[in-house]
Amino acid sequence: MAMNMVYSFIAAAMGVLVPLYLIEREMDIAAVGLVLSIMPLGFMILRIIFASMADGAGTRAMSIVYSAASIISITIYSIAINPAAFMLARFFESIRASGFWAVIRTDILSFRTGERTGNTLAFFGSFQRMADGAGRLAVGFMIAFFSFSGSFWILAFLSIALLLLSLSFNSGKPSAIQIDMKTVRRIFSRRERGFWFNSIGITSISLNINILLGFLLPLFASAELGFAPEKTGIMLAILPIFSGLVMLLFLKMRLGGRPLLLFTFLMVPALLLLPILGESIFLLVFILAAGNGCANILAECILADAVKNCNNISTEIAVLHVPLRISEFLFMSIGGLVIAAFGFAPLFFVCATLVGLFVLFAKGYVK
């Protein structure tokens, strides 16, 4: 839990800091989109490899890898002076994210089996989202008081703490990491049609929130609305923190699937109104947070069901997310060009459509 929270704080803070820093460096939005798109592309490839290695070597070695990658990426960002250097830093961010997400659900599922594993994932996810929100809130004030360079160094020290935490997590030595034919077979083994059906459903809602927090909302708040960094941080913090609280509340209430679907659908009008209301968007952000909390509960239950009979859970979860990473890469690489040509409204419409598709998918699941 501690490593989950510290990692989530760092990753979320970087998710706000990097787009704002690129805008501060006067990089145009189309180029920002291309730089940011490096992460999901690297994430897609590396997560599958790391997950397969973790199934054989154990999860502790991966925790050391992603902690070290976090330190390297932040260091590169702090000294980068051109797009190529920013892309290299973004690639190391993809190593950090790949290592973490390759093993975190496996660690959680190893402590809980049975019919309510989806709720267990959602429970841990609620705390992860509150740490996420704390990171987004804190980084806005870090920028205001310590500048961008000072913020990078604060996060670098936190990454060092994460590395020390991962080294002390287990007294034994990490297992050897290697790639062999068994690993390759795990990655490319044939999956049933239902596996990919679940993958597309999870992609529709995960793409929506990942794009909002890591791409659309930071750029929209800074470039379109002219929000100061601390105001941007507050807005971006509301979404994951309130989402996490909603998850905890509704898990406690054991709310049924249909009410969760209804709250999730409220995200559709909220997303359509976001580019219209200008600075008066905070109420909409609360609505998005409530809907996203409900959607996360449904998505984690769907994921747990998709891998419940799998032997190599890390690998299967990684492969399940391949369509998501491809979609993120395409959205970010093209999204900057769309914003430059047509503004933000078309991308918010796409996000609203994705939520609608997820509701239709999940409706069939909760029958």
Q: 70-111: per-residue pLDDT in tens?
A: 999 999 999 988 888 999 999 999 989 888 877 776 666 565
- Banded model confidence at residue 59, pLDDT cuts 50, 70, 90: low
The Cα–Cα gap between 293 and 115 comes to 21
- Full residue range of the structural domain in which residue 288 is found: 2-170+179-365
Averaged pLDDT for residues 117-134: 78
Tell me: the pLDDT tens digits for 328-345? Answer: 889 988 998 999 899 999
- Banded model confidence at residue 142, pLDDT cuts 50, 70, 90: very high
Instruction: Check: CB of residue 66 under 8 Å from CB of residue 95.
Output: yes
The Cα–Cα gap between 2 and 11 comes to 14
According to the model, what pLDDT value does residue 111 have? 57
Instruction: Say which residue, 63 or 342, is predicted with more confidence.
Output: 342
According to the model, what pLDDT value does residue 355 have? 95
Nearest to 268 by CA among 356, 196, 187: 356
* Angle, vertex CA 80, rays to CA 74 and CA 85, nearest 5: 95
Q: What is the pTM of this model?
A: 0.78
According to the model, what pLDDT value does residue 300 have? 83
Instruction: Check: CB of residue 284 under 8 Å from CB of residue 274.
Output: yes
Min mean pLDDT across 157-171, 227-241, 319-333 is at 157-171
Q: Is the pLDDT of residue 114 over 50?
A: yes
The CATH code of the domain that includes 232 is 1.20.1250.20
Tell me: the pLDDT tens digits for 194-214? Answer: 788 888 888 998 898 888 888
According to the model, what pLDDT value does residue 113 have? 54
Averaged pLDDT for residues 12-25: 90
Instruction: Check: CB of residue 241 under 8 Å from CB of residue 133.
Output: yes
Phi-psi category of residue 254: left, alpha or beta, with phi > 0 → left and psi -120 to 50 → alpha: left
Mean of the per-residue pLDDT values of the chain: 83
Tell me: the pLDDT tens digits for 216-254? Answer: 999 899 888 888 888 888 988 988 889 889 988 888 888
R_g (Cα) of the chain, nearest Å: 19
Task: State the number of CA atoms in the 13 A half-sphere of 260 facing the CB.
Answer: 29
Instruction: Say which residue, 272 or 172, is predicted with more confidence.
Output: 272
According to the model, what pLDDT value does residue 172 have? 43
The Cα–Cα gap between 288 and 267 comes to 5
Highest mean pLDDT among 46-55, 152-161, 163-172, 321-330: 152-161
Helix axes 2-24 and 83-109, enclosed angle (nearest 10)? 160
What percentage of the chain carries pLDDT values higher than 70? 84
**What is the b/e burial string over 132-148, where b = at least 16 CB atoms within 10 angstroms of the residue's CB?**
bbbbbbbbbebbeeeeb
Q: Is the pLDDT of residue 149 over 70?
A: yes
Q: How many domains does the chain have?
A: 1
Tell me: the pLDDT tens digits for 264-310? Answer: 999 999 999 999 887 788 899 999 999 999 998 888 888 877 777 66
The Cα–Cα gap between 94 and 40 comes to 7
Nearest to 325 by CA among 36, 11, 44, 90: 44
According to the model, what pLDDT value does residue 174 have? 45
